[in-house]
Amino acid sequence: MIRDSRLSSVLHALLHMAEHDGPMTSEALGRCLAANPVVVRRTMGLLRDAGLVASERGHAGGWRIVADLETVSLRRLHEALGEPAIHALGHRHETPSCLVEQAVNAALGQAMAEAEALLLDRFAQVTLADLARDFARRHAEVRAQKG
Amino acid sequence: MIRDSRLSSVLHALLHMAEHDGPMTSEALGRCLAANPVVVRRTMGLLRDAGLVASERGHAGGWRIVADLETVSLRRLHEALGEPAIHALGHRHETPSCLVEQAVNAALGQAMAEAEALLLDRFAQVTLADLARDFARRHAEVRAQKG
DNA sequence: AATCATGTAACTAGTGATGTTACATGAAGG
DNA sequence: CCTTCATGTAACATCACTAGTTACATGATT
Ligand code: FES
Ligand code: FES
């Protein structure tokens, strides 16, 4: 089980919703993601708290996007999910008194900080609209091959 | 205990060993790392399998470095540890049939691959000797401040 | 009123490093 | 020889975290 696939999940869900008319229920999204509806609510609830989606109960209820696809970047979604840890590696002690460990943490920490900065920068430069366009391109390719 | 701190641990241990005459026991290293001696053996055993350190039993036994500090990079240590996953994030499905998920995985995967490549590159450019020199510099700084 | 769908709490499952106990194996010293 | 020391390794517990599941309350629509 990979550690955290929520960013991947919400992206899949959001693009689905973008291509879909009207709200989508947690159960429908759960079927698409092969995930449990309660987990969908749990995760989408974080996006709702961030003002990116809205939820409604009752008949014809479900989830819908309330943000502009052009302005929502992967980084904003990452933040909406609570900025979970990106790296699986870490230090043993954060603020060691030992000089050796300080040297080790400095070297490791700098490399990891650079990698994290790069990743967040890439995340900031990709929007939901970009992904929707990429999907449309892939879709057209497949149709062209079949036809 | 939140994440994988083995690379940090072995770096700390190796630099300790580098500054120390004769082999160091797992118990002594465990005291320095605030770790269990069995865990030390477990982790150092991977470095031994990679030919970076040697272990001996009995009186005056313990661990010692058998590689050149100048040639052992953080990346080589990372490999010796079995190249554990660097990212805490991941995809839900690796090879999805759904085009939406393919687009999502492509975008996420590229960003993560770039970040991982950068991190491994930084790891490749730092050797144990570099860290030892950094430690010596910090040590001199502290002595200068005290004196 | 019945139905649908979210909101949320509470619990379980699975994963992987780390902690711990226990015992076998081999090397040095007496 | 035999005691001591230290590694080698198995087996199991612990911890943190996401994901899965069950159960029930709440609110909106019909
Ligand atoms: S399963 Fe619905 S588009 Fe991915
Ligand atoms: S505790 Fe020994 S140098 Fe870090």
Local confidence band at A96 (pLDDT 50, 70, 90 cut-offs): confident
A146: pLDDT strictly greater than 80: no
Positive or negative torsion for Cα A79, A66, A74, A29: positive
Cα pseudo-dihedral B104, B90, B72, B23, rounded to 10: 180
> Quick one: B82 exposed, middle or buried, by C-beta within 10 A (0-12, 13-18, 19+)?
exposed
pLDDT at residue B31, as a whole number: 96
Contact B3 A88 (CB under 8 A): yes
For strand C, the positions having any atom within 7 A of a protein Cβ are 3-10, 14-22, 25-29
Local confidence band at A14 (pLDDT 50, 70, 90 cut-offs): very high
**Residue B90, nucleotide of least CA–C1' distance:** D18
Instruction: Give the side-chain half-sphere CA count within 13 A for A56.
Output: 10
Contact A2 B91 (CB under 8 A): yes
Confidence (pTM): 0.92
- The answer to whether the beta carbon of residue B25 comes closer than 7 angstroms to any atom of strand D is yes
Q: How far apart are CA A93 and CA A95, in angstroms?
A: 6
Neighbour-count burial for A104-134, b at 16+ CB within 10 Å, e otherwise? bbebbeebbeebbebbbebbeebbbebbbeb
Q: How far apart are CA B60 and CA A129, in angstroms?
A: 65
pLDDT at residue B95, as a whole number: 87
Contacts of B95 (CB under 8 A, 6+ apart): none
Å between CA of B75 and C1' of D10: 30
B98 lines ligand 1 (CB under 6 A): yes
- Low-confidence stretches of chain B (pLDDT beneath 70): 1-2
Local confidence band at A2 (pLDDT 50, 70, 90 cut-offs): confident
Q: Report chain A's mean pLDDT, rounded to a whole number.
A: 95
pLDDT at residue B132, as a whole number: 97
pLDDT at residue A1, as a whole number: 62
pLDDT at residue A108, as a whole number: 96
> Residue with structure tokens 């890439």?
A122
Q: CATH says A6-146 is which class?
A: mainly alpha
Contact between B10 and B50 (Cβ < 8 Å): no
